[in-house]
A and B are shown apart, each in its own frame.
Chain A
Amino acid sequence: MIQALLTVGLVALSALAVATFPRSILVFLLFQGSLVFVYRARIPEWLRWSLLAVALLFLMPAIGYFNGYYLEVATQVGIFVALALGLNIVVGLAGLLDLGYVAFFAVGAYSWAIFGSPHANVIFGGSGFPLAGWWFYVFLFVGLGAAAITGILLGLPVLRLHGDYLAIVTLGFGEVIRVLANNLDKPINLTNGPKGITPISRPPTPFGLPYGEYFYFLVLLIVVAVVIVNRRLEDSHIGRAWEAIREDELAARSMGVPLVRMKLMAFACGASFAGVMGVLFSAKQVFINPESFTFLESIGVLAMVILGGMGSIPGAVLGATVVTVLNLQVLKGFSLWLNELKNAGVTVLGYSLADLPTQFEPAKYERMVFGIILVLMMIFRPQGIFPARRRQRELAR
């Protein structure tokens, strides 16, 4: 009861605080933290889920009204949550280390980018393109399918590989897709090379929603769908087969798990989530080029999965949130703060920060701090923030 009041109070208070101080990162972090608290608190399930629904459906867009950037952050978080959940299937459940995951995101993104922009006229001739905005919804499924097929194409040659070898091949695959995107501007100009594709059409928004809110809600909808699909897969014979493969491939085969089919299915399912988000990403950004799909992005998504807890859905969601917020807000804020100190000429231990050589530019510490956080996490909580918990079955007799 006390916890229930406390959670409601905390969410309301933090939301109010964000409205009052729309510029403070700390206050926004408090709001996000309150949602994690709601998820973990010992309160009735109906209260938990209605609180989360209210916070995500009403409070977050309201906050976006005061500071549009926060809505952008939330949208990015959602995109990465879907990516992390997809990779979680491949790495966390099936135990197939994939270092080229962003390739599937790229496949989805380019599928809409090409047909949703005038660029398709260059390929097919005529002036029939870009496709009308509503085709975007069709392409969410096209992107899903294209990425799933790409996943199977990647899966086929790596079926016999494990661990390090698999990691290297998938890494190479990710690079191949990026390099293809970079160079397929000749002989046929498919991707427009490093210049990228723009402008990419956006769908007409319902109820005259601004695009910020529209993409936020769409991302939220897709994330909810992805979570449901993920949970259903996990709690089925398919999920159990994936985990069995992760635990002991030889035993799994001997117990009747069709290895090839299950591995390909893991690759395809994981990839399809990235494909959908890729389509959305390209529409949201209006412009894409190969730079958005580098190796670092794959590693970033992998870091989210590991940080959150491999094989755990809440873990992947939280891991994606933490890493994205760290990257977009906390570490940025940190380096801005250091910069202010520097510009103000604050002295530390008798040394004026204003004299710092340019090599020690505060902005350069962002990645280092992120790395330190990862290292500390792996030392002190290697199982991740929310490790996978075994489902306890009610045994009706």
Chain B
Amino acid sequence: MPDTVPSLFEARSVTKRFGGLVALHGVDFALDRGIASIIGPNGAGKTTLFNIFTGLYAADEGQVTFRGQSLLGLRPDQITALGICRTFQNIRLFSNMTVIENVLVGMNSRISLRLWDVLSHSPSFHRTESDLAARAVRLLDRVGLQANANVVAHNLPYGDRRRLELARALASEPALLLLDEPTAGMTQGEAGALMHLLRRLVADLELAIILIEHNMRVVMEVSDRVTVLDHGEKIAEGPPREVQSNARVIEAYLGTRGAGSRGARRA
């Protein structure tokens, strides 16, 4: 990556400790465009990294910048307003709200109405609300949920919930999207369709995506670059083919005969 222009998103030597446990140790990460995947065994610190990027956790050390602006110390909603949004590993929809309402909540940071506009139903209120609804419908269309717009979210089948979470995250018009295991629980066919969708999003919306993913076939197919974490440390980074054949990665994932109990436990 060129040094003169700051990348879209950059994390430098991020460290996070939970008590005595070092969850992340000096992790560097940068992304300008396209899809970057983060892989690693369970407990490697992938989701912790996301939580730091989105302001849910405070990093103990290091620096995180987005378009040159530091994100550390900002609240999650401020970070969303800047243009970073995420999905969750264990789907966290607003279960008792309808599909379209879920998406509308995602637009919250793009709404500039005041309390008075809402109470007086001013022209700008009506304009904004109909714009939002139209945009929400277009987003649902994109992820294939337009027919379920008025369904209460907890009645959706599993795969649709994942898609709704994606639509809700897109609703905030992010420039960077963080997806935490978006294909978990999906069939290979569904996962493939989702990746196709992500590719199109990257092309259409000039979106950059960071993906946490366990499905290796998906990762290898869709990623421009893969980062491997193990025990809170970055052990490899590069194009998918390269990482796939990296000895340390294979060790971390499969464990080798010489790796002892640690490798065996993770196998």
Q: When the two chains form the complex, which single residue of A232, A244, A391 contacts B105, counting CB atoms closer than 8 Å? A: A244
Q: When the two chains form the complex, which single residue of A250, A256, A265, A397 contacts B115, counting CB atoms closer than 8 Å? A: A265
Output the least CB separation between A85 and chain B (Å). Answer: 15
B70 at the interface (CB under 8 A from A): no
Q: How would you classify the secondary structure of chain A's contact residues: helix, strand, loop or mixed?
A: helix
A238 at the interface (CB under 8 A from B): yes
Contact with A along B154-194 (1 / 0, CB 8 A): 00000000000000110110000000000000000000000
In whole angstroms, what is the CA distance A149 to B200 when docked? 49
A127 at the interface (CB under 8 A from B): no
Output the least CB separation between A396 and chain B (Å). Answer: 7
Q: When the two chains form the complex, which single residue of A247, A256, A396 contacts B97, counting CB atoms closer than 8 Å? A: A247
A254 at the interface (CB under 8 A from B): yes
Tell me the residues in window 352-397 of chain A with beta carbons closer than 8 Å to chain B beta carbons.
390-393, 395-397
Output the least CB separation between B134 and chain A (Å). Answer: 7
B80 at the interface (CB under 8 A from A): yes
Contact across chains for A241 and B137 when beta carbons are under 8 A apart: no
A253 at the interface (CB under 8 A from B): yes
A233 at the interface (CB under 8 A from B): yes
Tell me the residues in window 121-175 of chain B with beta carbons closer than 8 Å to chain A beta carbons.
121, 125, 129-130, 132-134, 137, 146, 149-150, 152, 168-169, 171-172
- Would A257 and B150 be within 8 Å (CB), given that A229-B119, A233-B118, A247-B95 are in contact? no
Contact across chains for A259 and B77 when beta carbons are under 8 A apart: yes
Q: Which residues of B contact A238 (CB under 8 A)?
A: 115, 118
In whole angstroms, what is the CA distance A100 to B6 when docked? 52
In whole angstroms, what is the CA distance A251 to B149 when docked? 20
A131 at the interface (CB under 8 A from B): no
Contact across chains for B101 and A257 when beta carbons are under 8 A apart: no
Contact across chains for B118 and A255 when beta carbons are under 8 A apart: no
Contact across chains for A240 and B101 when beta carbons are under 8 A apart: yes
Contact across chains for B108 and A243 when beta carbons are under 8 A apart: no
In whole angstroms, what is the CA distance A294 to B81 when docked? 43
Contact across chains for A392 and B77 when beta carbons are under 8 A apart: no
Q: Which residues of A contact B133 (CB under 8 A)?
A: 393, 395-396
Output the least CB separation between A240 and chain B (Å). Answer: 5
In whole angstroms, what is the CA distance A121 to B206 when docked? 69
What interface size band does chain A fall in? 20 to 34
Contact across chains for B94 and A256 when beta carbons are under 8 A apart: no
Contact across chains for B97 and A240 when beta carbons are under 8 A apart: yes
In whole angstroms, what is the CA distance A192 to B180 when docked? 60
- Would A256 and B118 be within 8 Å (CB), given that A237-B108, A241-B105, A396-B134 are in contact? no
Contact with B along A207-237 (1 / 0, CB 8 A): 0000000000000000000000100110011
Q: When the two chains form the complex, which single residue of A232, A240, A258 contacts B104, counting CB atoms closer than 8 Å? A: A240
Q: When the two chains form the complex, which single residue of B86, B96, B101, B152 contacts A254, counting CB atoms closer than 8 Å? A: B86
In whole angstroms, what is the CA distance A255 to B77 when docked? 7
Contact across chains for A251 and B93 when beta carbons are under 8 A apart: yes
Contact across chains for A256 and B152 when beta carbons are under 8 A apart: no
Contact across chains for A256 and B108 when beta carbons are under 8 A apart: yes
Q: When the two chains form the complex, which single residue of A237, A255, A393 contacts B168, counting CB atoms closer than 8 Å? A: A255
Output the least CB separation between A390 and chain B (Å). Answer: 5
Contact across chains for B105 and A253 when beta carbons are under 8 A apart: no
Q: Which residues of B contact A232 (CB under 8 A)?
A: 118-119, 121
Output the least CB separation between A151 and chain B (Å). Answer: 14
Output the least CB separation between A98 and chain B (Å). Answer: 20
Tell me the residues in window 75-105 of chain B with beta carbons closer than 8 Å to chain A beta carbons.
75-77, 80-81, 85-86, 88, 92-98, 100-101, 104-105
Q: Which residues of A contact B119 (CB under 8 A)?
A: 229, 232-233
A248 at the interface (CB under 8 A from B): yes
Contact across chains for B105 and A254 when beta carbons are under 8 A apart: no
In whole angstroms, what is the CA distance A151 to B111 when docked? 25
In whole angstroms, what is the CA distance A240 to B105 when docked? 6
In whole angstroms, what is the CA distance A341 to B96 when docked? 49
Output the least CB separation between B264 and chain A (Å). Answer: 35
Q: Which residues of A contact B76 (CB under 8 A)?
A: 253-254
Given A237-B113, A244-B105, 4 new contacts (CB under 8 A): A236-B125, A238-B115, A254-B88, A255-B172
A-B residue pairs, 10 tightest by C-beta: A256-B109, A256-B80, A247-B94, A251-B92, A253-B76, A236-B118, A244-B105, A256-B108, A258-B77, A237-B111
Can you list 27 residue pairs at the A/B interface with Cβ under 8 Å? A233-B118, A238-B118, A240-B105, A240-B108, A244-B105, A244-B108, A247-B94, A247-B95, A250-B56, A251-B92, A251-B93, A253-B76, A254-B85, A255-B109, A256-B77, A256-B107, A257-B108, A259-B77, A390-B97, A390-B98, A391-B101, A392-B98, A393-B100, A395-B137, A396-B133, A396-B137, A397-B137
Interface residues of B (CB under 8 A from A): 54, 56, 75-77, 80-81, 85-86, 88, 92-98, 100-101, 104-111, 113, 115, 118-119, 121, 125, 129-130, 132-134, 137, 146, 149-150, 152, 168-169, 171-172
